[in-house]
Amino acid sequence: MKLNIGVIKGDGIGPEIVTEAMKVLDKTSEVFGHQCCYTQLLMGGASIDVNGVPLTDETIRLAKASDAVLMGSIGGDARVSPWYQLEPSKRPEAGLLKIRKELNLFANLRPAILYSELKDACPLKEEIIADGFDMMIMRELTGGLYFGERKTIEVDGVMTAYDELTYNENEIRRIAKRGFDIAMKRRKKVTSVDKANVLDSSRLWRKVVEEVAADYPEVVLEHMLVDNCAMQLVKDPAQFDVILTENMFGDILSDEASMVTGSIGMLASASLNDTKFGLYEPSGGSAPDIAGKGIANPIATILSAAMMLRFSFDLDKEAEAIELAVSQVLKEGYRTSDIMSGGNIQIGTSEMGDKICSYIHA
């Protein structure tokens, strides 16, 4: 099979981690008899440097023409990077939000799994994580606070900022359906997270999620307030199967969930629309502090590439081969610095890619 993949290496550690994911994709293709054709696309700071804007129409066109897009990370250090002297709508992150919107990538899947080999890297106590955990955060990605109107104006001589939070029932229904569909393939439990004790958008969220739940009698639905969810994630992460939530809450909770897996460098993600197309990226950021040092953890990007094979190309066996190779390498004790603990062998970004390749088998 021929796989047409758009590649956005991006900023910071992006180029390093994407190079390793491509290495693993090429090895997997070789083993299983496929062919990856890559089209390099510019976005974020790298695009600002060349085009003056974080995302061009040409990049959008080429992304749409690909079967899937693999992405590294976007953005730099706001304290020193000239990109942050630009107005907010021209900064690197604006490119990321625009591509999500243009490609209608409303469903963001972020699986947070505790590998038994990484228990030492998990900051939670042994008794809390005894049985491990495996949850899927389903984050709505094209609505809410991220895409509402915003402005900063002077009201009666006082600087005042507005960020609008809007959801309509259709936006809620389509992400809820995705959440329940995924739950049906897992442990059949959905925890819908909102702030219905305060926000109207959350009250509508809850109502629509309940309507959708009626079509999935096998799935157990529970509602949880977002502040309580933040607490439950560190108190008893094993209680979660699918966490279904809106854009901003999902952004925050997925960083928290990633840390309890040991490192944000382990958290993959897929952003999907209602076709087979998807954009696959690690959930972590561009980590400008460690960029270019060859020490970033490429595993989240490699696992995102596995999600790409599964969701955009229906290549389940190939995806499993990558996931298995990652756990083999962890079992052998190989670690990048972010997940290093005593008795293991510390290696760099590209050695990690090589090791994972060496464990890919049909």
Residues marked active site are found at 146, 195, 227, 251, 255
Contact yes or no for 23/302 (Cβ under 8 A): no
Pick one of 67, 93, 117, 140: the residue that binds ligand IPM (CB under 6 A).
93
Looking at the Cβ atoms of 100 and 174, the one nearer to ligand IPM is 100
| Cα distance between residue 295 and residue 337, in whole Å | 7
Residue 280: half-sphere exposure toward Cβ, Cα within 13 Å: 32
Looking at the Cβ atoms of 106 and 216, the one nearer to ligand IPM is 106
Number of residues that bind Mg ion (CB under 5 A): 1
- Residue number of the CB closest to Mg ion reads 251
Pick one of 194, 251, 318, 338: the residue that binds ligand IPM (CB under 6 A).
251
Please enumerate in sequence order all residues whose Cβ is within 8 A of that of 231, keeping only pairs 6 or more positions apart, or say none: none
**Residue 280: strand pairing partners:** 70, 270
Q: Residue 271 CB, nearest distance to ligand IPM (Å)?
A: 9
Contact yes or no for 56/46 (Cβ under 8 A): no
Number of other residues whose CB lies within 10 A of the CB of residue 241: 19
Q: Residue 93 CB, nearest distance to ligand IPM (Å)?
A: 4
Q: Residue 165 CB, nearest distance to ligand IPM (Å)?
A: 15
Q: Residue 107 CB, nearest distance to ligand IPM (Å)?
A: 13
DSSP 295-339: -S--HHHHHHHHHHHHHTT--HHHHHHHHHHHHHHHHTTEE-GGG
Number of other residues whose CB lies within 10 A of the CB of residue 166: 14
Which stretch in 43-51, 196-204, 247-255, 326-334 sits in contact with Mg ion by CB under 5 A? 247-255
* Contact flag: residue 67 with Mg ion (CB under 5 A): no
245 binds, among Mg ion, ligand IPM, none (CB under 5 to 8 A by kind): none
Residues 22-61: x/- map of binding to ligand IPM (CB under 6 A)?
----------------------------------------
Of the candidates 23, 40, 39, 7, the one whose C-alpha atom is nearest the C-alpha of residue 298 is 23
Site for ligand IPM in 56-85 (CB under 6 A): 74-75
| Cα distance between residue 26 and residue 313, in whole Å | 15
DSSP 46-93: HHHHHHSSS--HHHHHHHHHSSEEEEEE----TTT-GGGGS-GGGSHH
Site for ligand IPM in 275-304 (CB under 6 A): 283
* Contact flag: residue 251 with Mg ion (CB under 5 A): yes
Looking at the Cβ atoms of 75 and 325, the one nearer to ligand IPM is 75
96 binds, among ligand IPM, Mg ion, none (CB under 5 to 8 A by kind): ligand IPM
Contact yes or no for 91/83 (Cβ under 8 A): yes
* Contact flag: residue 246 with ligand IPM (CB under 6 A): no
Which stretch in 100-108, 143-151, 220-228, 245-253 sits in contact with Mg ion by CB under 5 A? 245-253
Looking at the Cβ atoms of 93 and 140, the one nearer to ligand IPM is 93
| Cα distance between residue 210 and residue 249, in whole Å | 19
Q: Which residues bind Mg ion (CB under 5 A)?
A: 251
* Interface with ligand IPM (CB under 6 A): 74-75, 93, 96, 251, 283
